[in-house]
Structure 1
């Protein structure tokens, strides 16, 4: 952001009047006309026309080259062309803003191009020395500098945010019955049946937008099964109170920590709406 003179952007049309001088704003006014100012009369000519440069708050942002949309090399588009961000001064406050702008989960790491690779040589480096407070709604609202020739793509900044939690029911007769799978940090995995309860299942059904759970047999071995999953077993020993909006808010062991096999993958049966 800069306050500039007419030497930068040129002079106004000679036929147009100069309407304001000695403008004094507090910075909280909704419009320039609400600030204190004087009628210039003949005191000012167009060689003293004021100029201004603002930072574009509407810049788009994306993360490229990572395992999912919430991790990768940081790229911004203030107008029609995408470019990268130099990692000079890049920190977790800056990543927090990127994660918020993208609708991802919490910020996890601020990274360099060594992790997600450099940007395309023909694309510009658009920002350096980004300084966010961490509360901004968009990266373009943070203080930054034009890198000029100071940064090359070997210094492109990267970010990793937690991907938003989601769940699904697989291999059942419809979307509301099946083996329970959850996605954490971009990877789908299953849920162990240890300490599983009807209350847990009600939270799942509600989160999926299905009807309530169907009554199940009291013995776990007599409950419906929809086959074993593969890969990660993400959650174990889940204990919900029943008021949670999402299964991830229920008490459980640390993500990926369990003493189960896929023979213990839990299934859930909800009523269709």
Structure 2
């Protein structure tokens, strides 16, 4: 339990950039652990992989589908950028990937196409569209870029290194794996600097194919 008090201004990139006050006098326990839910989370469901499917957005702790009114390639392109799924191939409408459940976000999204996240796009109306789940928007991204994630850890920024390529998540072997390699992974995922580099014994062996081996980064 890290008991230091963080005093962030709100414009820092990572929490380690915030000022801290030693918390040695605090009486913290497991019940004092903090948590957070971020807005604007995005996922694709019902598709062939993580880079195709029905668009769903998390708002106020609720996942909802996106209305397809005025949904076009520019909007779909931003979804692909947001999910690091490469260039967009197609913008789908009329529940192409099946009808979702629950909430429907009926705002009209007007993206220019160069935004990196869907919540950076302009919203032209709020809840005025007569949408049902038959109007759920979808997207197909090319997924031809290499993607990276950390699996089996306690959060987004720790875990087993896995690479997505050619439609499948695979493993990185620990031959020559060192702190410089780990530091590059952390920077790519916008997780700050590496604290440690582990072999397969820390987070277990993944089930996918070996996609990379003998990685040797300069680390600069």
Give the TM-score normalised by the residue count of structure 2: 0.49
| Higher alpha-carbon Rg | 1
